[in-house]
Structure 1
Amino acid sequence: MRGAPASSGCRGSARVAELGRASGRWGLRGCFAIVGALVAVGGTWVDAHSQQSRPNVFLDCREARCNYEYYRTEIDWVNWVRDRQVADVHVIMTAQGTGAGGREYLFDFIGTDEESPYSHRHSYKSNPTDTDREVLDALANTLALGLGMFANESGYRGLATVVALETGQPEGLVSPDEVDDPWNLWVFRIRGEAGMEGESTYRNVGLEGNLSAWRTTPTWKFSISGGVGHNRLRIDLSDGTFRDNRTRWNVDSRLVYALAERWSVGVIGSTGRFLSYNLDYRLALTPSVEYSVFPYEETTRRSFTFVYGITGMYHDYTERTVYLETEETRYEQMLEIRFNQRQPWGSAWFGTSGTQFLHDTDLYRVSLWAGASVRIVRGFSVNISGNVSWVRDQIFLSAEGATDEEALLRLQQRPTDFDYGMEVGFSYQFGSIYNNVVNNRLRPRR
């Protein structure tokens, strides 16, 4: 079954609609149709209304599929504006992963007229096998459906009309009772990659492979993935040639159970070889519990979670550590708090995490991170993000330390008491507020 946009306004018909643009015409199959947006004259489509009769639309999107040029080309019966303060409708686009490996895209349509509040949500679920063009087409269709409904309900009645079609099951779709899934919701993925780069005095060759499997239901979520990689590095220096050949591998798994509406429990396991951390072999198991302040259904717009867990780990070291250990078993407790919010004014997030070894409470790590992207005034926005960690838990450090070459190439961890990062930026845009024109001539290379 192909993914399709869904709307809360479609009832009794699997809540599915599909809007397509073919041969220069908009068509809709499922719950709604948009008609009257364009007028056919002699086989050529022309605008039916002046630019002033169109709603101003501000698209707020930070996802991978934010192809503004494509949306402006396909939906040319609205005014696309660059500033939300002059928009009639603010569209916030977010996304989250699905159990099958696809993505669920959510469109929140928020009217800006305080006297006539408007709020609607539409969604589209893509399949993991969909091509970029198929996903873009479906996203444009979902966006057009939402804008058509807004235009119809907000007084732009000569521009677009939303017509409810038959409420029977749309053609080509099946109900959950009719699905016979031989894979029982299991999804598998195999990935391989090889690459090389170099010049006269430098060469780097890498090979990587990965196998993953997962199964997601409303109550249970399980995933497991494993990978192996090999790198061969050669650099010619003034006093000789530096070579580094290393192989890494890892297996990670996660089992989560929905204990209650806002409570989850799970177990996270990992094992592997991580030479940068002086680990020839590592095995770790972390039972944990999570509480969500907000319903999980609101995660794409706001989330506030608390996670606590205890990790049991076994380390087999490549070299003797600064604590004179070649192997050891340790236990560590962990607490993590995360907050994310995305609103018409922008987005903000912050979090903190702490870990502490139980055999020695002086060995710990505390991390803080925060950021915001805020529109201050018309056309002016500020972005700021930062993180800092206090590090006291490097029990894996090699007693021999890192060589100068390993330090310069960051191939080996070195002692530190802290790490940090910060970014600050701003954007100010002025001039025409309209953003309807698309010109794809002599485009820059991507």
Structure 2
Amino acid sequence: MNRSAAGLLFLLMFFYSQSLYAQSGSLEPIPNVYLDCSSCDVTYIRSNVTFVNYVRDQSDASIYLNITDQRTGGGGREYTLVFSEIGVPEGRVDTLRYTSPSSDSSDERRIGLNRYIKIGLVPYVSQTVAMRALDIFYEAPETDEDEEEIDDPWDNWIFDLNLRSNLSGQDTETNFGLYSGFEAERTTHDWKIRARMRGEIRRRTVELTNRTLNVNRDWGDYWGMVGYSLTSHSTVALFSYVGFNRTNNIALRTYLAPAIEYNFFPYDEFQQRRFIVQYQVTPTYRRYYNTTIFLQDSELIMSQELSTRLRYDQRWGRIDIRLSGMHFFHDSSINRFEVNPSFNIRIIRGLSVSLSGRYRIINDQLSLELPTDVDPNDPESIIRGVQRPTSFDYSISFGLSYTFGSIYNNIVNPRF
């Protein structure tokens, strides 16, 4: 190599090194992240993902991270992570999905979610000072590269069996409960099959002044559903049910009900927005422990139900509104209407308001017992938990939250 070529090479290397130095010297500060996740272990995330700053209000953030989750087949969870740049015209938006099987412990689940958070944040910190300390590690999976299909001897079936009991009491009262349940589920892209059996023995003994009162509130049921995906917007299903409930005077209730569901938004946008309409026709056989106010000991009746749900999960908050209406064909005056609104809205910086409630118009208490000489308002009847007539019920909750002070939320102190 002659001197001119060597000199030219030296100059190129010098200018290149100066360019790298200039770039490294102009790195942006560590970005501010606003984390929006109602089901996450936020303390764990802040303790382990430390190459960003966490802020209390999204007005102070340059990255908005929204994490939502839904149940998968067999009791697992699928997390949808949406990373968005704030304050940048046509800012970058990335979406990752992390699936945790039902066999994962809560610790394994949060470790896996943290890994996806780190992966998703890398493009947003690549031009910041965080790059000076970041590294990438890769562990090759212990699988056969030639294997193309997963060998699943269970064919996507998941089963769950549980049993629990409780005992409480005082000087004049004893309460005992024994609950058992079994669930089975199979979920594929086209099919969703679920079934569950549940039952509970509920016994209460109360010592009155003149005698001992034994209260039996046993109940049990079977519920099943087979659903098939028709398109990216619609699904058909068949529901089945068999059950009894002593408190509600139902010795036997059983039905087989077809249903259809339509989502105006594609199902793959389910975690961000959904507008669902469901219609179901239900022929039901009912048998009662005691004669009802309609003078029925048993009956075969048919009803129809129409319900809808609108939900948005966005930066400004969450809106969730559910409406449903049902009536019986043999008498449309026997009906029920229910509305469930829920709002969580960010008004201004640091200020958010929440409102939720439920209101039901109840005109379908078919199992109410025929009045006897026992007064339903008598304390003994109340203790027994006998179903009481009503034409409506409601609940409402309102909350207001205002946060101010330091914009940062990085430090974690687990003491006390």
TM-score normalised per structure 1:
0.82
Correspondence 1:372-387 to 2 at 5 A: 372-387=343-358
Whether the 8 Å contact between 1:148 and 1:160 is mirrored in structure 2 is: no
Distance, in Å, in 1 between the alignment partners of 2:199 and 2:262 is: 34
- Provide closer, same or farther for how the CA distance between residues 259 and 441 of structure 1 changes in structure 2, counting only shifts above 3 A: same
Match of 2:405 in 1: 431
Whether the 8 Å contact between 2:30 and 2:130 is mirrored in structure 1 is: no
Alpha-carbon distance, 1:101 to partner: 2.2
Match of 1:41 in 2: none
Match of 1:367 in 2: 338
Distance, in Å, in 2 between the alignment partners of 1:351 and 1:227 is: 26
Whether the 8 Å contact between 2:59 and 2:349 is mirrored in structure 1 is: yes
Once the two structures are superposed, what CA deviation does each residue of 1:330-372 show, in whole Å capped at 9, x if it has no partner? 0001100111110000000112111010011111111112121
Distance, in Å, in 1 between the alignment partners of 2:53 and 2:271 is: 26
Amino acid of the residue matched to residue 90 of structure 1? Y
Once the two structures are superposed, what CA deviation does each residue of 1:90-134 show, in whole Å capped at 9, x if it has no partner? 111100111232111111111112325121111211111111111
Correspondence 1:188-227 to 2 at 5 A: 188-227=159-198
Correspondence 1:310-329 to 2 at 5 A: 310-329=281-300
- Provide closer, same or farther for how the CA distance between residues 170 and 97 of structure 1 changes in structure 2, counting only shifts above 3 A: farther
Q: Specify the SS of the correspondent of 1:143.
A: helix
Distance, in Å, in 1 between the alignment partners of 2:299 and 2:103 is: 44
Whether the 8 Å contact between 1:407 and 1:414 is mirrored in structure 2 is: no
Alpha-carbon distance, 1:156 to partner: 5.2
Whether the 8 Å contact between 2:342 and 2:355 is mirrored in structure 1 is: yes
- Provide closer, same or farther for how the CA distance between residues 237 and 438 of structure 1 changes in structure 2, counting only shifts above 3 A: farther
- Provide closer, same or farther for how the CA distance between residues 289 and 159 of structure 1 changes in structure 2, counting only shifts above 3 A: farther
Which has the greater radius of gyration?
A: 2
Distance, in Å, in 2 between the alignment partners of 1:257 and 1:174 is: 33
Percent sequence identity is 32
Find out whether 1:129 has 2:103 as its counterpart: yes
Match of 2:117 in 1: 143
Q: Can you give the 5+ residue segments of structure 2 that lack an aligned partner in the other structure?
A: 1-23
Distance, in Å, in 1 between the alignment partners of 2:236 and 2:328 is: 22
Q: Can you give the 5+ residue segments of structure 1 that lack an aligned partner in the other structure?
A: 1-47
Correspondence 1:35-434 to 2 at 5 A: 53-63=29-39, 66-115=40-89, 117-152=91-126, 155=128, 158=131, 170-173=140-143, 177-238=148-209, 240-400=211-371, 402=376, 404-405=378-379, 408=382, 411-434=385-408
Amino acid of the residue matched to residue 352 of structure 2? S
Match of 1:24 in 2: none
Distance, in Å, in 2 between the alignment partners of 1:130 and 1:164 is: 23
Distance, in Å, in 1 between the alignment partners of 2:160 and 2:237 is: 23
Q: Specify the SS of the correspondent of 1:427.
A: strand
Alpha-carbon distance, 1:149 to partner: 2.4
- Provide closer, same or farther for how the CA distance between residues 151 and 160 of structure 1 changes in structure 2, counting only shifts above 3 A: farther
Alpha-carbon distance, 1:315 to partner: 0.5
Compare the two structures and name the one with the higher helix fraction. Answer: 2
Amino acid of the residue matched to residue 121 of structure 2? L
Q: Specify the SS of the correspondent of 2:47.
A: helix
TM-score normalised per structure 2:
0.87
- Provide closer, same or farther for how the CA distance between residues 364 and 73 of structure 1 changes in structure 2, counting only shifts above 3 A: same
Whether the 8 Å contact between 1:345 and 1:375 is mirrored in structure 2 is: yes
Once the two structures are superposed, what CA deviation does each residue of 1:59-93 show, in whole Å capped at 9, x if it has no partner? 11112xx2111111111221111111101111111
RMSD of the alignment, in Å?
A: 2.4
- Provide closer, same or farther for how the CA distance between residues 322 and 57 of structure 1 changes in structure 2, counting only shifts above 3 A: same
Distance, in Å, in 1 between the alignment partners of 2:212 and 2:29 is: 70
Q: Specify the SS of the correspondent of 1:324.
A: coil
Amino acid of the residue matched to residue 324 of structure 1? L
Please identify, of 396-405 and 339-348, the stretch whose mean Cα deviation from structure 2 is larger: 396-405
Whether the 8 Å contact between 2:217 and 2:245 is mirrored in structure 1 is: no
Q: Specify the SS of the correspondent of 1:122.
A: strand
Amino acid of the residue matched to residue 226 of structure 1? M
Once the two structures are superposed, what CA deviation does each residue of 1:210-263 show, in whole Å capped at 9, x if it has no partner? 111111111111111111210111233455543212321100000101112211
Once the two structures are superposed, what CA deviation does each residue of 1:368-405 show, in whole Å capped at 9, x if it has no partner? 12121011111110000122111111111111374634
Amino acid of the residue matched to residue 428 of structure 1? Y
Once the two structures are superposed, what CA deviation does each residue of 1:386-435 show, in whole Å capped at 9, x if it has no partner? 22111111111111374634664582321111111111111111111111
